[in-house]
Amino acid sequence: MPKLQCRCGETLSYGQIPCPIEGLYISDVEYDKFVGEIDAESLYSSFKHFLRCPTCRRLWLFEEGYQNEPEEYMPVRAGDT
């Protein structure tokens, strides 16, 4: 099962389907390419994937697919510096 070690120490396992820590997103530009009746598989293949750590809330974005290193984003709450 694929997994990723988050900086907080949490092991993010993402082989489960559906995966409770995986999210999908698509840009406005990519989404606007779909008009009329939409094939679900075509739409799904346009999505990018991310993992959200349940412990620290970091996002791990797989912009270039799972075969490449993800980008890491740490959320900051208003008032935190």
Question: What is the model's pLDDT at position 81?
Answer: 60
Domain range annotation of the chain: 3-73
Question: What is the model's pLDDT at position 26?
Answer: 94
Q: Are 50 and 61 in contact (CB under 8 A)?
A: yes
Question: What is the model's pLDDT at position 12?
Answer: 96
The CA–CA distances, whole Å, from 9 to 5, 28, 30, 48, 62 equal 6, 34, 34, 24, 19
The tally of CA atoms less than 13 A away on the side-chain side of residue 5 is 2
At 3-61, the pLDDT tens digits run 999 999 999 999 899 999 999 999 999 999 998 898 999 999 999 999 999 999 999 99
Question: What is the model's pLDDT at position 76?
Answer: 86
Question: What is the model's pLDDT at position 77?
Answer: 79
Question: What is the model's pLDDT at position 27?
Answer: 94
